[in-house]
Structure 1
Amino acid sequence: MKRSVSKIAVVLLSCIALCGVASANTLKIGAILSVSGPTAFLGVPEANTLEMLVESINARGGINGEMIELIIKDSAGQKEKAVSYAKQLIEEEKVFAILGPTRTGSTMAIKGLCEKSETLLISCASSKMIVDPVARFVYKSPQNDSLAVRKILEHMQKNNISKIGVAAGGTGFGKLGKMFTEELAPEYGITVISSEVYAPNVTDLSSLVAKWKGTGEIEAVINWSIVPAQTILAKNMRQANWDVPLYLSHGFGNIKYVEVGGKAMEGVIFPAGRLLIAETLDDSNPQKKVLVEYKQDYEAKFSEPVSTFGGHAYDAMMILVQALEEVGVADKMKVRENIENMSFVGTGGIFQFTPEDHSGLDINAFEMMTVKDGKFVQYREN
């Protein structure tokens, strides 16, 4: 890793001399991210992205003359820390908005605080539960987990898969993905033969693989997780020579997971936004310009491949920036209302927020992808 983010806070202010002005007002924006801990593969690219964007925005004069002061708090993926930091950002720092948290559980833990204090929250976590029911000041940038489940089940249905096993990491993200899979599978004529939760720090799932393989019924497996342990099931399946399709969630969208899993990750199937295949898109695709520019900027600055998680932070920040540029910073209610009716082309898809939908994305935000020769590529039917 080329750089690290302090566990306490990172405050970024572009040099006034760089901007060519004698003085400037500042706009405080907080972020609560999992920069360390088991989901650092998600939080580090999010923090990198926010730093890069703030540096760029301030270098060109800020937002309508307002320089951004970005305060990043590292929750290490812990709900208790997220709550403590949210209170600090709201009560002491008096931030205009909070971006993140990285994880669903942490987001749910601070959702009420943000709503009560009328502090804008744009989460980088994916659960539908974050925005359902709708809270006036709470939005999110990733695609809904329930839609990712539907995308997988659609693909299974097309490939005549009707009996599956479901494994889930023991996190809020994993348990909700498991719940949605069990609820939605019957709509697609699919039966969940067995459904299991494993500890986030598990090191071996060979007994589960042996049990499932031994049924002789399971035709494919879904592994719903965001922790590095999601690679363990793939390794154990390969070791057992159990050659059934393995589907992963959109929480697999960082090439570091492929590096950890090695050859066992070849051929896994998962839904994700188009950022991972940005340069292969047709030039007419309305997302391509945004995707390619962000990907090139990120990879040039940090010397590591872009991930969908950094993309979630990009979308969260730029949704806020677009609203601020359009209505200014004087009235938070106007900014909130602007977001609630916003169209936005981002890395996760083409957002269309409404008062009833604070996610703004539909199932068309996903492409089915796979791993080939250690790289992410669009999935093609044989």
Structure 2
Amino acid sequence: MRSSGNFRIALRIAGAALSATLLAPASVVAQEPIRVGAFLAATGPASFLGDPEQKTLEMYVERLNAAGGVLGRKLQLFAYDSGGDAEKARTFTKRLIEQDKVDVIVGGSTTGETMAAVPLVEQAQVPFISLAGAVVIIEPVKKWVFKTPHTDRMACEKIFTDMNARKLSKLALISGAGGFDRSLRAQCLAVAPKFGIEIVADESYGAADTDMTAQLTKIKSVPGVQAVMNCGFGQGPAIVTRNYRQIGLTLPLYQSHGVASKEYVKLSGGAAEAVRLPAAALLVGHLLADNDPQKSVVVDYKRDYEERFKSDVSTFGGHAYDGLMIAIEAIKRAGSSDRAKVRDEIEKTKGYVGTGGVVNMSPTDHMGLDLTAFRMLEIRNGDWVLVQ
């Protein structure tokens, strides 16, 4: 009898709850959270990208909620660790769309993960702001896909502009095997003639390689080579940098924004001295002029991140900050978390000052950054110096 009585009580409670829900005013129903999805390489070989990205998203979702949320609604973050694996990224994207029913996705630490997710977000019509680098993410334009980092093509153009200023024209390439690495190499080969740069050597290494001495020795023997560029990210560039010095190469060495964190400097040790790379202003915020529109943004983000996590800031966490804030501003302008309305407002982003630069998107540009958003940095005494 007691069991039957409990069952009747449970039914009455459930019925009362259902009636309350049905009779609730629209203002109460509207308090559903705004669901933000993310899949990030928080662990694995690309964790130097995904870990600061996840920490950034968690910190700012928490801060926004503490300040009252967005449109009077709390944010709910659904973040999954893809480990940099494209198949996992595809699985988690499907989960974010079908089970978590997110309103927007901010994530995709690597190009491979991002491109695995693209067909799913396009089909489901979910706005997606990628945190990966390759230009293929936004060219050709995909209606529901955007990105915050500078592209690999821009990295080539910034490096070649610097080479022109240093009167260097003969370049050797050494490239990794990842999606970003291959795309960066292809973009550099494509735009080199525009800058009068001749590619005089073109070597490569595998993802599991732990010594690139053989490839670098070949480059060293090439007549007339004036500079070397490494197309890669992860531990590969640090190995290249150490081997570079070990075999006595003294030519200017360029890396890409794929290594724009202190982790690369630590892994490379003293061998990183004088290496140049294009990167976001975030790494040198304290060196920016007081009237630089980015200064307050990057200085504040750096302070907040380093105080919270007791670790060096990286441009990768900055990409996540920009992605989240661009999405939040779009939701505010839309006055809704409706996916189509949010997508339209992301595309209309103008004058957003972020860690990566001043963003001006359009129907033909789903990134919104130009070459002025890149700063050329040099590593000196284990720290970043602003070259231009």
TM-score (norm 2): 0.90
Asked if 2 retains the 8 angstrom alpha-carbon contact of 1:169 and 1:227, the reply is no
* 2:296 alignment partner, one of 279, 284, 289: 289
Structure 2 Cα separation of the partners of residues 164 and 201 of structure 1 = 25
Deviation string, structure 1 residues 220-277 (Cα, Å, up to 9, x no partner): 1000111112111111111111100000001111101100110001110000010000
Q: Residue 340 of structure 1 corresponds to which residue in structure 2?
A: 347
1:86-101 matches, within 5 Å, as 86-101=93-108
Asked if 2 retains the 8 angstrom alpha-carbon contact of 1:200 and 1:227, the reply is no
Structure 2 Cα separation of the partners of residues 242 and 87 of structure 1 = 47
Aligned amino acid, residue 306 of structure 1? V
1:267 aligns with 2:274: yes
Deviation string, structure 1 residues 155-176 (Cα, Å, up to 9, x no partner): 1112121111111111000000
1:351 aligns with 2:359: yes
Structure 2 Cα separation of the partners of residues 197 and 28 of structure 1 = 42
Aligned amino acid, residue 106 of structure 2? L
Q: Residue 237 of structure 1 corresponds to which residue in structure 2?
A: 244
Matched residue of 2:229: which SS? strand
Q: Residue 135 of structure 1 corresponds to which residue in structure 2?
A: 142
CA RMSD of aligned residues (A): 1.3
Asked if 1 retains the 8 angstrom alpha-carbon contact of 2:34 and 2:337, the reply is no
Deviation string, structure 1 residues 91-133 (Cα, Å, up to 9, x no partner): 1111111111000111111111101101110000011110111
Q: Residue 57 of structure 1 corresponds to which residue in structure 2?
A: 64
Deviation string, structure 1 residues 279-313 (Cα, Å, up to 9, x no partner): 11111011111111111000000001110000000
Matched residue of 2:233: which SS? coil
Deviation string, structure 1 residues 334-378 (Cα, Å, up to 9, x no partner): 211111111111100000000000010010101100111111121
Asked if 1 retains the 8 angstrom alpha-carbon contact of 2:34 and 2:75, the reply is yes
Asked if 2 retains the 8 angstrom alpha-carbon contact of 1:118 and 1:137, the reply is yes
Between 1:346-355 and 1:185-194, the stretch displaced more is 185-194
Structure 1 Cα separation of the partners of residues 155 and 163 of structure 2 = 13
Structure 1 Cα separation of the partners of residues 52 and 337 of structure 2 = 31
* 2:115 alignment partner, one of 102, 108, 122: 108
Asked if 1 retains the 8 angstrom alpha-carbon contact of 2:287 and 2:386, the reply is no
Asked if 1 retains the 8 angstrom alpha-carbon contact of 2:39 and 2:89, the reply is yes
Structure 1 Cα separation of the partners of residues 203 and 83 of structure 2 = 25
Q: Residue 376 of structure 1 corresponds to which residue in structure 2?
A: 384
Structure 1 Cα separation of the partners of residues 286 and 98 of structure 2 = 43
1:1-382 matches, within 5 Å, as 24-343=31-350, 344-379=352-387
Distance of aligned partners of 1:64 and 1:217 in 2 relative to their CA distance in 1, 3 Å threshold: same
Structure 2 Cα separation of the partners of residues 330 and 379 of structure 1 = 42
Which structure: larger Rg?
2
Matched residue of 1:113: which SS? helix
Q: CA deviation at 1:330?
A: 4.5
Distance of aligned partners of 1:307 and 1:52 in 2 relative to their CA distance in 1, 3 Å threshold: same
Deviation string, structure 1 residues 15-48 (Cα, Å, up to 9, x no partner): xxxxxx9x94211111010011111111100001
Matched residue of 2:75: which SS? strand
Asked if 1 retains the 8 angstrom alpha-carbon contact of 2:201 and 2:222, the reply is no
Percent sequence identity over aligned pairs: 40
Structure 2 Cα separation of the partners of residues 164 and 188 of structure 1 = 12
Return 5+ residue gaps in structure 1 as ranges: 1-20
Asked if 1 retains the 8 angstrom alpha-carbon contact of 2:107 and 2:320, the reply is yes
Structure 2 Cα separation of the partners of residues 349 and 26 of structure 1 = 30
TM-score (norm 1): 0.92
Q: Residue 9 of structure 2 corresponds to which residue in structure 1?
A: none
Asked if 1 retains the 8 angstrom alpha-carbon contact of 2:204 and 2:215, the reply is no
Return 5+ residue gaps in structure 2 as ranges: 1-27
Q: Residue 6 of structure 2 corresponds to which residue in structure 1?
A: none
Higher helix share: 2
Q: How many residues align?
A: 359
Structure 1 Cα separation of the partners of residues 335 and 326 of structure 2 = 13
Aligned amino acid, residue 307 of structure 1? S
Structure 2 Cα separation of the partners of residues 252 and 71 of structure 1 = 27
